[in-house]
Structure 1
Amino acid sequence: MTGAYRWRWWFPCSRDLLWPHVSDTDSMNRQAGLPPVNYEYQPLVEGGSRTRASIRYGPVRVEWFEPAFEWTAPQSYAIERHYVSGPLRVFKSRTVLLEELQGTAVEMNVEMQARNLLGAMALPVLAQIGRRGADRALRSAFRQTQKAKPEPTSVPRLFGREQLRAAGFGTQLLDKLARFADDSDDRDLAKIRAYEVADKWVESRQTVLRLFLHATRVGIFNLSWDVLCPSCRGTKQSVDTLSKLGPAVHCDACNIQFGPQFDRSVEVTFNAHPLGKGVETPTYCLAGPHMSRYVAAQVPVAAHGASDMSVRVLPGHYAANALALSQQAFEVRSGAPVQPLHVQLGARGVLDIPPVIAGELLQMQIENTLDHELLFRIERLEWPDTIVTAADITAMQEFRSLFSSEVLAPGLQLSIRQMSVLFTDLVGSTELYSKTGDAPAFRLVTDHFEQLREVIARYDGAIVKTIGDAVMAVFRDSGQCLEAALRLPAAVGSVLSETAALVLRVGFHSGPCIAMQANGRLDYFGTTVNLASRLEHEAGPSEVAFSAATGTFPHLEAVIQKYSLQPRRERAVIKGFAEPVGVLKVPAFKASPTG
């Protein structure tokens, strides 16, 4: 016997506002009063895995197999469960959000297939319980769309407040931190993304990240290094120190093994475990749209079957991905919608996706020619900018000062797709030592390091090491690297001008490199580092030299335009490079400009 039920609600808010909360199936199940779920994954021969889940109602354990969810953001999602035992054989649910005048209607269509007579008799009761739970969950989701209540006038006590104040953080920001630590749900304190908190507080992302680093140092939070799967982007490993990162991680859900990427799949988060919060956070659902916000739509395609997909997306770069088979990248541009695309999934992968698609409504007819089911989805290629990667944080001077012991395990090499590497050289330092003597000269060189450190930190960079009287520094942003480079010679001049006419020259290059431990510190190696070091020798006194390739980066071009710089273009024969290298040279600022 099968029971079919249809329930409807209406809420006075937009669909786009309601969708993130209604599609958070972990929160919805929790608010509905369902028990926590345990998951296990069974690898499949053709790739991917099969999900087996279970819950407990007192002494009774209920198990089921759960196919992948189907969804189209922000319109609908569907759940299906095939029970191993118990009164039900199959449970299906489809939740649809419909745009209506001045609000959104939510329709929930539920189908339950009884296993036996007892199950058939229980269907009306189960439906009534489900209806009440869905009502609680949806009303909770709607409340989350409403504007936040005014902050209370009282401020909870914040451990380490005086140390944080001494580090330069103001009263208003510390009050926000105190309320966040005191009022937030355990679920929100189990994995804290500093940039998301900053956006919610309407504060500078860099300032809030610094605040969390200092708060970790005084014992309010813990810092966690989370390895994200490149396929499902879920956290697959969390370690409390960099040295515990390994060369390979396995994702049970995707059934793949991968190596961490320092600037993509190693994320830095915080948790409130020292406060006794966020320690145990039960899981109520792992497979809903909330776990894969980068997926605009996904649909299963049966063996030798076909499925239709229609989803509206913003212009940008996407991938049509048939999991465990292949993916094909394409770009969506504004324009007149094209006719529905016929996409074939077969032995040669994903076929018939054009590189550029006009129109923001994607309509696809997907055909699977293989002997097993495939999960097909449209993914945004860009990772969210709210993720703080390991490459981001280790390029911060403040992090290196506060957590100097954080290094990778010996021998572990992690790739970084892009880093700006800068070298300086103090012209005339040998003459300085001979004229003034070792001790005075050493003191001046040390003072010059401090001036460099201050400027580099101001532009979100970090000194990796000093080499004699030279400095190696790294930046995640090429524009910030140029901003700092232009100011470094003037900063050094303020230290040394009274003693000797010493000047600085600077060179940098941006590109891929390798992060690894060397001499007890986190260091960087590779062609990018080698070229940056050579470019410093190409610069003249009080001059900045950088590669022509780096000069094409948008952030760096913006700095050139900001100061109306006119780089001098040259071709240089550089040791270790087979072909001449394009070099751009600009004079450094004589004094730091405003703005």
Structure 2
Amino acid sequence: MSEVDVLFANLGHAADPQTAECIEKTVRDGSDRDLNRINALAFADAHGLDPEKTIAAFLHAARIGAFEMTWNVLCPGCGGVLDTGATLKAVDRDSYHCALCAAGYEPTLDEMVEVTFTVNPRVRRIAAHDPDRLPPLEYYRQVFFSSGVDLPDDLEERFGRILLEIIELDPGEKAFVSVQLPQQFVIIFDAVTHSAQFIDVQGEPTSERQNLSMVISQAHATNETLTLRPGLLRLTLENHSDRRVLPNVCIANDDLHDILGHRRPFLTAKRLLTNQSFRDIYRTDTLDVDQRLQITSLTFLFTDLRGSTALYERVGDLAAFDLVRAHFRVLQEIVAMEAGAVVKTIGDAVMATFPSPDRAVAAALRMREAMLRLNAERGSEDLLLKIGIHEGPCLAISLNDRQDYFGQTVNIASRVQGLADPHVILTTEAIVGNEEVSEILRQRGITSVSRMEEIHGIGREVRIFALP
């Protein structure tokens, strides 16, 4: 049995067998492009697989060395990859600038950081393992643009309609290019160094030759838009970087916007951090101690057992411990089923995160039903679960050698749980105002009941909603 056979045999044991088999078939029979920067959600959709099982399978594949996982910082405008690293620790800048969009962005984990998977070269060698040898437009497709940009299959043909020139320049090389400028907005852009120059072509056409020099280097220098007239442009390009560069001159019209405007869901860093398989596999190697990464919106669910001290007194330490452990096991299974992750347990309490409010509410309803079943099986009311949910912005941090969260959203979620009665789920307006949550409650015939509460440490009253 070859090393590759052993790897995929191990993957079949660690992950969902159907998903593992599909990944193995793609490695053996797929194109090189299919195996570079795989979008796990698009892969699941294309093969009719469960998205959560697919994410888990690729995580296990990365753990055993069959794939390499990369974290890419994206431009929200064009979808280009502004920076990339092997871990989330590489996202270490306060802001990122996109030369193509001429805009700067403060990184968030919601939509600006994607996670992709590329086959390991010892499993199968693909062209993207040597990106400087990719054909120019294939470099743009496979390296510059993120997995969330749904580029057309006929990219070369469609891009050719707006392309005035594209060349390859080795390190230290200079080239002279002549292009006929139309009366439109033109961009000179290199996807390797992210160098750009904007040209606003306007006015009367000229028969005189216009000249422009552009130095391409690793420094992401900002540029001012130049105004030139329609007509011949003599363009001098110099590569001062240490890599091959691929500058192109194209017309920035509706055709270009249409090529780049089609997007598809991709695996965000936020979603991965709330994935239980990821937390189980990468417990301590996610963030540096000093990192503080913003998440625009994350849903927190807190649970606690009321009267657990009395429970230990009533049934004895051993029986109470076994019961509490059973309750933890059930809650963790439900959290994972709803695409969430348990961040930590504190005594008899659980802190969990979910990518959206509807998944948290669905989990809370399942938890309540599960505790009622456990109590019915025992013929007692030993497990009195209190649940609180809130959604909002937060910071992803590293605390006590684990990935954790910090901020007012976390505080409010915890305090809301503290106000809950057993078997009644308490939420905030941010939760019940969610469209998907409203549909869940409507289908279950649940009518929320609201009241104002003073929440300790917040300094103001907050409207909370009980889901009886």
Q: What TM-score, normalized by structure 1, do the two folds share?
A: 0.56
Q: State the partner residue of 1:193.
A: 39
**Cross-structure match for 1:28:** none
Whose helix proportion is higher, 1 or 2? 2
- Counterpart for residue 134 of structure 2: 283
Q: CA separation of 1:385/1:417 partners in 2, compared to 1, >3 Å: closer, same or farther? A: farther
The answer for the alignment partner of 2:273 in structure 1 is: 394
Deviation at 1:277, TM superposition (A): 2.3
CA apart distance, 1:531: 1.2
Alpha-carbon offset, residue 470 of structure 1: 0.7
Deviation at 1:538, TM superposition (A): 2.5
Change in CA separation of 1:375 and 1:250 when aligned onto 2, cut-off 3 Å = farther
Cα pair distance change 1:384/1:418, threshold 3 Å: farther
Deviations 1:322-371 (A, max 9, x none): x999xxxxxxxxxxxxxxxxxxxxxxxxxxxxxxxxxxxxxxxxxxx976
> Are 1:561 and 2:408 counterparts?
no
Are 1:178 and 2:24 counterparts?
yes
- Contact kept, 8 Å, 1:236 with 1:249, in 2: the verdict is no
CA offsets 1:150-178 (integer angstroms, 9 cap, x no match): xxxxxx974434433334623x5443222
Aligned residues of 2:96 and 2:107 also touching (Cα < 8 A): no
- Distance, in Å, in 1 between the alignment partners of 2:36 and 2:427 is 43
1:157 and 1:178 in contact (8 A); partners too? no
Q: 1:187 to 1:251 in 2, by over 3 A?
A: farther
1:222 aligns with 2:72: no
Structure 1: distance between partners of 2:103 and 2:433: 36
Q: Which has the higher strand share?
A: 1
Q: Is the contact between residue 185 and residue 252 of structure 2 (CA under 8 Å) also seen in structure 1?
A: no
* Kept after mapping to 2: 8 A contact 1:396/1:460: yes
- Taking the aligned partners of 2:279 and 2:261, their CA distance within structure 1 comes to 28
Between the aligned partners of 2:45 and 2:324, the Cα distance in structure 1 is 41
What is the aligned partner in structure 2 of residue 267 from structure 1? 114
User: Structure 1 residues 446 and 548 mapped into 2: Cα distance closer, same or farther (>3 Å)?
Assistant: same
Matches within 5 A, 1:463-502: 463-495=342-374, 498=378, 501-502=382-383
Tell me, in whole angstroms, the C-alpha distance in 1 between the residues paired with 2:42 and 2:141: 19
Change (3 A) 1:435 1:195: same
Percent identity between the two aligned chains: 30
Equivalent residue number for residue 289 of structure 2:
410
Letter paired with 1:582: R
State yes or no: 1:160 paired with 2:7. yes
Q: 1:513 to 1:375 in 2, by over 3 A?
A: farther
Amino acid at match of 2:338: Y
The one-letter amino acid of 2:276's match is Q
Q: Contact between 1:444 and 1:495, CA under 8 Å: does it hold in 2?
A: no
Provide, for residues 501-560 of structure 1, a one-character-per-residue CA deviation record: whole Å limited to 9, x for no partner: 331010101111111111111111112111111111222110101112321111211211
Alpha-carbon displacement from aligned partner over 1:38-97 (angstroms, at most 9, x marks no partner): xxxxxxxxxxxxxxxxxxxxxxxxxxxxxxxxxxxxxxxxxxxxxxxxxxxxxxxxxxxx
CA distance in 2, matches of 1:545, 1:538: 8
1:431 partner amino acid: A
User: Cα–Cα, structure 1 residues 577 and 489, in superposed 2: closer, same or farther, change >3 Å?
Assistant: same
The 1:439–1:175 alpha-carbon spacing in structure 2 relative to 1, beyond 3 Å, is closer
Counterpart amino acid of residue 449 in structure 1: F
Distance in 1, matches of 2:397 and 2:421, equals 31
Provide closer, same or farther for how the CA distance between residues 519 and 575 of structure 1 changes in structure 2, counting only shifts above 3 A.
same
Question: What does residue 581 of structure 1 align with?
Answer: 462
1:427 is aligned, of 283, 306, 325, to 306
**Can you give the 5+ residue segments of structure 2 that lack an aligned partner in the other structure?**
152-157, 164-181, 187-195, 199-223, 229-249
**1:253 to partner: Cα distance:** 4.0
Structure 2: how far apart are the matches of 1:496 and 1:571? 31
TM-score, normalization by structure 2: 0.70
Once superposed, what is the RMSD of the aligned Cα atoms?
3.5
In the alignment, is residue 204 of structure 1 matched against residue 50 of structure 2?
Answer: yes
Equivalent residue runs for 1:329-408 within 5 Å: 372=227, 384-408=263-287
Over residues 456-495 of structure 1, what are the superposed CA-to-partner deviations in whole Å (9 max), with x where a residue is unaligned?
Answer: 1111111001112111100002111101001213323455
Tell me the distance in 2 between the aligned counterparts of 1:543 and 1:468: 21
| Partners of 1:245 and 1:408 within 8 A in 2 | no
Q: Do 1:244 and 1:408's aligned partners in 2 also have CA atoms closer than 8 Å?
A: no
Q: Find the residue that maps to 1:160 and give its secondary structure.
A: helix
Q: Does 1:543 align with 2:424?
A: yes
Q: Distance in 2 between matches of 1:585 and 1:383?
A: 40
Q: Which residue of 2 aligns with 1:511?
A: 392
State the 1:184 CA deviation: 2.5
- Of 308, 316, 320, the match for 1:441: 320
Give the Å deviation of 1:258. Answer: 4.3
2:463 match: secondary structure? strand
> Are residues 1:527 and 2:408 paired?
yes
**CA gap 1:493/1:168 in 2 versus in 1, 3 angstroms:** farther
Q: Distance in 1 between matches of 2:42 and 2:339?
A: 19
Structure 1 residue 209: Cα displacement: 1.8
3-state SS in 2 of match to 1:507: strand
Equivalent in the alignment of 1:320: none
| Larger relative contact order, structure 1 or 2 (CA cutoff 8 Å, min sep 6) | 2
2:433 aligned partner? 552
Asked if 1 retains the 8 angstrom alpha-carbon contact of 2:390 and 2:412, the reply is yes
Distance in 2 between the 1:377 and 1:427 partners? 62
Distance 1:500 1:413, change over 3 A: same
In structure 1, what residue type is equivalent to 2:134? T
**Contact kept in structure 1, 2:340 and 2:353, CA below 8 Å:** yes
Cα pair distance change 1:418/1:444, threshold 3 Å = same
Cα distance change on mapping 1:210 and 1:429 into 2, 3 Å: same
Corresponding pairs, count? 371
Distance 1:215 1:560 in 2: 38
Larger-gyration structure (1/2): 1
| 1:563, distance to aligned residue in structure 2 (A) | 1.1
Judged with a 3 Å threshold, the aligned counterparts in structure 2 of structure 1 residues 503 and 382 are, in CA distance, closer, same or farther, namely farther
Q: Contact between 1:395 and 1:462, CA under 8 Å: does it hold in 2?
A: yes
2:93 aligned with 1:247, yes or no? yes
SS of the residue corresponding to residue 206 of structure 1 reads helix
- The amino acid of 2:447's aligned partner reads Q
Give the counterpart letter for 2:81 in structure 1: T
Would you say the 8 A contact 2:311–2:382 is kept in 1? no
One-letter code aligned to 1:411: D
> For 2:136, what is the secondary structure of its paired residue?
coil
Q: How far does residue 431 in structure 1 lie from its aligned partner after superposition?
A: 0.8
Letter in 2 for 1:230: P
